[in-house]
Amino acid sequence: MKELLEENENGFFSLWSDKETYRRAILLCNPVFHDDPLFNHATGTLDSEDVIEFIIRYFDSRNVRPAIYANPWNLFPLREVLLGYGFRLWDELFVEVRGADPQSPTQSTLRPVEDTDALRTWIEIYESAFKIPSYWHREIEVRTKTMLRRDDVTLFVKYAGEIPVGSLAAYFTGDLCGLYCIGTPPKYRGKGIGSSMINEAVRVAGMRGARAVCLQTLASDKLTGFYERLGFRVAYKKQVYLR
């Protein structure tokens, strides 16, 4: 399961970033999102100072501040090496998982994005929910238009009546569905929209053949209790370092 969870996470973020590999390390970089550790980071097997030095050179050449995800199964003394190269612990990323639910939703409030009009709505909700800077907008348009042509990813807009109130992306690898870009604009929070959106997405994933659903949260967001109430459990966590 660990390998499939990593494949899902890295596969989804590679839709937003350019992917480079070095030995068994995976580097994801998008200079447009230069200040974001989610779209610009190195992960995988980081087992030598040579690998760390390559990562630093790679991101520096693109004027991007590098982030490194330290997996718990990495036996190399990564923390000490990273501190020596000027990195600091920024946050922790929790990888959470639960079983999928094959039951059909009684009333669908999640609508898949299938055309440019719906995509504009998704982008508007996503940018509002995450307070996205305006200079990201064009790159988000380009990346999400590419997603519409793929079979392994679906963007969804959550509706309350005819009002769009939430964004979500479902990314499939094998029988695992990853949920990403889960957001509601500030004015719609505290109304149960997030819980409803995730529960429905879990059912949609089950109907599409997924046996498990995963997502990632940052420790600083303090959302593990929220997702625990929705049936998720923490499979493992990674330390995120920034230079």
pLDDT tens-digit profile, the chain (243 residues): 889 999 999 999 999 999 999 999 999 999 999 879 999 999 998 888 999 999 999 999 999 998 999 988 877 788 899 999 999 999 999 999 999 877 765 567 899 999 999 999 999 999 999 999 999 999 999 999 999 999 999 999 999 888 999 999 999 999 999 999 999 999 988 888 899 999 999 999 999 999 999 999 999 999 989 999 999 999 999 999 999
How far from 80 is each of 86, 129, 199, CA to CA, in Å? 10, 36, 41
CA pair distance 195, 75, nearest whole angstrom: 37
- Domain layout of the chain by residue ranges: 2-93, 101-210
Is 181:127 a contact under the CB 8 Å cutoff? no
The closest alpha carbon to 153, from 198, 188, 190, 112, belongs to: 112
What is the model's pLDDT at position 108?
73
CA pair distance 138, 34, nearest whole angstrom: 14
CA pair distance 118, 111, nearest whole angstrom: 9
What is the model's pLDDT at position 78?
87
The rounded Cα 213 to chain-centroid distance in angstroms is: 13
Which region, left, alpha or beta, applies to residue 27 given φ > 0 means left and ψ of -120 to 50 means alpha? beta
Is 77:209 a contact under the CB 8 Å cutoff? no
What is the model's pLDDT at position 104?
60
The yes/no answer on whether domain 101-210 falls in CATH 3.40.630.30 is yes
| H helix count then E strand count, the chain | 7, 11
What is the model's pLDDT at position 190?
86
Which pTM does this prediction carry? 0.93
